[in-house]
Chain A
Amino acid sequence: MNNLILNEMMKLVARKRLLVIGAIVGILVILFTFAQYKEVQTQREKLGSDDWRASLQQQIIDMQNRLGSSRISDDWREQIQVSVQQLQFYLDQDINPSEPGAVTFVRMFIENSSDLFIPLLIMIVASDLVSSEHTLGSVKLLLTRPVKRWRILLSKYITLLMATSLIVAMTGLLSYGLSGIVFGYHGWNAPIITGFLVDGGDVDTSSIRLISQWKFVLMDFGLVWFVAVVVGTLAFMLSVLIRSTAASMGVMLAALISGAILNNMVSSWESAKYLFMVNLKLTNYLNGVAPPITGMTLFSSMSVLLVWWAAALVLSFFVFTRQDVY
């Protein structure tokens, strides 16, 4: 088995996929760092001070103004109400929710990339892990060696898990390393509030906890890794089922993007919560952002994803070990 994994790793490295992914992450991080830097600057100019309390106060006022408008939908109104209450809570506790520093940047970056950007990066690897062997024709050599088919697929899957972990870790390290140049490498122990219970437009603060940012970031990464593994496994399954890399990538991309769109409009379609793509934003549960469909919890989302993961894995192995190769 070790030899098989070594083979897959050799192929992955030779195709320079991980380097490409690293470059993409690097460029994006630089872009966002610059954007963030600019934002801080304009805010400072607008408010005339760099006191975070003033800027937070301004944010709350902005949101309240928006609530006064009659043209916003009920869903959107609830979301804003929740945000206002949370920000007010931070202000009351005298805690800066976005303490400047590389660690805060990492937290923001990973939270915002968990439902689309990271899955996209994983897809680059997962989508053609099996289908590229079909496209190249090398599958005919691979499957005529004295190794059972399930072992070959398992070695590919383990390689995918390792690549997924590597990509998530790389995203973390690159965003810390690059943004730290501008914001400074601090913020590990900044306090973060978690445990908001959201019910409709109201925020229940009875079970909140204060934790250090590094713990929070660690939890974020755990959840993002979990999402990445599930999405990777689904892309892997498509790569087994659809023997064309382009087609399997297209299907997966469509699913992810439809998830991003659905998130904003499924609040009244309750059974949509069993779709994997509306459950990808797990980090929102830590931040107390209202879920797209009422009744969704961290536990329910993870269960849904786990079921999809298991089904994809079973189907991949079933098909791969039985299919005729032409």
Chain B
Amino acid sequence: MSATTLSVRNLTKTIKKHKVIKGISFELKEGEVFGFLGPNGAGKTTTIRMLVGLIRPTSGTIEICGYDVKKNFTKAMANLGCIVENPELYPYLSGTDNLLHFARMLPSVDAKRIAEVVDMVKLTERIDDKVKTYSLGMRQRLGIAQALLNRPKVLILDEPTNGLDPAGIRQMRVFIRELAEKEGLSVLVSSHLLSEIQLLCDRVAIITKGNIITVDTVESLLSSQEQAIWQLDPSVKGREILESLTEVTTLDDGYMVTPYDSTQIPKWNAALVHAGVQVLQLNRKIPVLEDLFLQLTDTGGAHIE
């Protein structure tokens, strides 16, 4: 079992008598990429800002590598690298000066380390140009270089693929996975691109209306939601038979959806064939995170209100 690098317990935030975050707890382990998913206004950004010390939590604790963010701010921050929303560096300074600026705020970062991170994010050619001449992708990379200066144990990236083209998104994904696997960083990523999270993260937390609804590995979240899709003839009789065996939802176009259970599917099939119903199609559907997300945040939201 690898070590816990970030631990959040019973975090709440009340803004003007309105409870925005209602008691969030989760942990990050060394070397894992953790996804933070939620619709707009769910409290993702507020939570992330509390993690990095920009907003004071109303109650609850946040520990980074064992240091409490409130009581031991500097030690906690020494182990953290982050980009909150866009990497807003100083446009009127060059890339080097920006890195120098933030390096001066860290205890032991020398010119060698600066060159190292520039090399890591592949910005060596343009690093002496003013940041205002950079493309969004280059700014994003410079932001990450800045976040890596202090060799953090925990990296928090808010929407890291925002505004990148498909090639850039892919590079970013490979880069983040490398950091987690080779350097053992814990990476917390928030994104609205669910397909990205699905490809990138080991575990995800789904957050809506200030609560975490579920925290699980991507695989087990998805496999619990696998479905079988049937096309039957005659469909009315077929549905009656299936309904007597399991839960069935009928789609608009006449397809029927049942849960996927590899031990039961052959038996249901046999029952249908036995009753003279033709099975025209039977598909196993592995859901994408998006379906799951919509399903969870819709129903999850309804009973909280």
Partners in one complex: yes
Nearest-neighbour CB distance to chain A for B67, whole angstroms, equals: 10
Contacting A at CB under 8 A, from B62-115, are: 73-78, 80, 82, 84-93, 97, 100-102, 104-107
Nearest-neighbour CB distance to chain A for B121, whole angstroms, equals: 16
Interface of chain B, helix or strand or loop or mixed? loop
Nearest A residue to B75 by beta-carbon distance? A146
Stretch at the interface among A8-16, A39-47, A78-86: A8-16
Beyond A3-B105, A10-B97, A325-B55, whether A147 also contacts B74 by CB under 8 A is: yes
Nearest-neighbour CB distance to chain A for B76, whole angstroms, equals: 8
Does B191 interact with chain A (Cβ within 8 Å)?
no
Does A7 interact with chain B (Cβ within 8 Å)?
yes
Nearest B residue to A142 by beta-carbon distance? B105
B102 and A14 within 8 A (CB):
no
Does B54 interact with chain A (Cβ within 8 Å)?
yes
Beyond A137-B85, A146-B105, A146-B106, whether A326 also contacts B92 by CB under 8 A is: no
Query: In the complex, which of the residues B87, B92, B105 contacts A15, with contact meaning CB atoms closer than 8 Å?
Result: B92
Does B184 interact with chain A (Cβ within 8 Å)?
no
A144 and B54 within 8 A (CB):
yes
What residues on A are CB-neighbors of B47 within 8 Å?
A: none
A144 and B90 within 8 A (CB):
no
Does B211 interact with chain A (Cβ within 8 Å)?
no
In the bound assembly, the distance between CA atoms of A146 and B102 in angstroms comes to: 10
Does B173 interact with chain A (Cβ within 8 Å)?
no
What residues on A are CB-neighbors of B86 within 8 Å?
A: 137
Q: How many residues of A contact B (CB 8 A)?
A: 24
B77 and A137 within 8 A (CB):
no
Beyond A15-B92, A137-B85, A137-B88, whether A145 also contacts B56 by CB under 8 A is: no
Query: In the complex, which of the residues A136, A145, A148, A322 contacts B88, with contact meaning CB atoms closer than 8 Å?
Result: A136
Beyond A14-B93, A14-B97, A148-B74, whether A143 also contacts B54 by CB under 8 A is: yes
In the bound assembly, the distance between CA atoms of A137 and B73 in angstroms comes to: 21
Does A51 interact with chain B (Cβ within 8 Å)?
no
What residues on B are CB-neighbors of A145 within 8 Å?
A: 77, 102, 105-106
B105 and A138 within 8 A (CB):
no
Does A4 interact with chain B (Cβ within 8 Å)?
yes
Given contacts A14-B92, A140-B84, A144-B54, 14 further A-B contacts (CB under 8 A): A10-B101, A11-B92, A11-B93, A136-B91, A138-B89, A140-B54, A141-B88, A144-B77, A144-B80, A146-B77, A146-B107, A146-B150, A324-B55, A325-B54
A–B pairs, 17, beta carbons within 8 Å: A11-B92, A14-B90, A14-B93, A14-B97, A138-B90, A140-B85, A140-B88, A141-B89, A141-B102, A142-B105, A144-B54, A146-B76, A147-B77, A147-B105, A148-B74, A324-B49, A326-B49
Residues of A bordering B, CB below 8 Å: 3-4, 6-7, 10-11, 14-15, 136-138, 140-148, 322, 324-326
